[in-house]
Amino acid sequence: MTTIPKLAAMLITALTLATVTGPALAHDDATLDTMKTPNGGQLRMANAYHFELVVVKNSKEVKEHPVVVFVTDHAGTKIATTGASGTATLLAGKLKASVTLVPDGDNRLKGVAKYASAPDMKAVVSVTLAGKPAEQARFTPMAGAASEHMHH
């Protein structure tokens, strides 16, 4: 008869732990989109890393703009980009821009591409840190721009 209370106690403990740790482990795109980013970009997970893509959000004309990717771990600790390389491909409508990303201080990779701030923009970022395999993430960098603008 004591097995039922023990089983109930174990289930309650397991559910409590799952509830407490669940949100901390959530790294889906919807959750990442609710997080405030240090540089105003969009955050995505790439295995052991977070990539924050920062693009110009207010340019209606296609011209050269910076493309910046910040690399951190899941706790937000900066990951050095010395010796790293990367690429970003931006797609908006019929336009496609590819850019080579090079280290640009601390945990940053930077390049320049010709693009406009189109609402349907999508981006694929690939980063290879020194001595590590390439990691990739997909972005919709303008998705949050409209809702951010509505809050002002």
Which SS3 state, helix, strand or coil, does residue 120 take? coil
Per-residue pLDDT reduced to its tens digit, 86-102:
999 999 888 999 999 99
* Of residues 150, 134, 152, the one with CA closest to residue 69: 134
Whether 149 shows a pLDDT value over 80: the answer reads: no
Higher-pLDDT residue of 149 and 112 is 112
Going by pLDDT thresholds of 50, 70 and 90, the confidence category of residue 21 is very low
Residue 45: predicted pLDDT: 95
Q: Is the dihedral angle over the CA atoms 132, 122, 78, 113 positive or is it negative?
A: positive
> Quick one: how far is CA 74 from the chain centroid?
10
For residue 144, the surrounding DSSP H or E stretch is: helix 143-150
Per-residue pLDDT reduced to its tens digit, 71-81:
999 999 999 99
pTM of the predicted structure, to 2 decimals: 0.77
Separation of alpha carbons 122 and 33, rounded Å: 15
Whether 4 shows a pLDDT value over 80: the answer reads: no
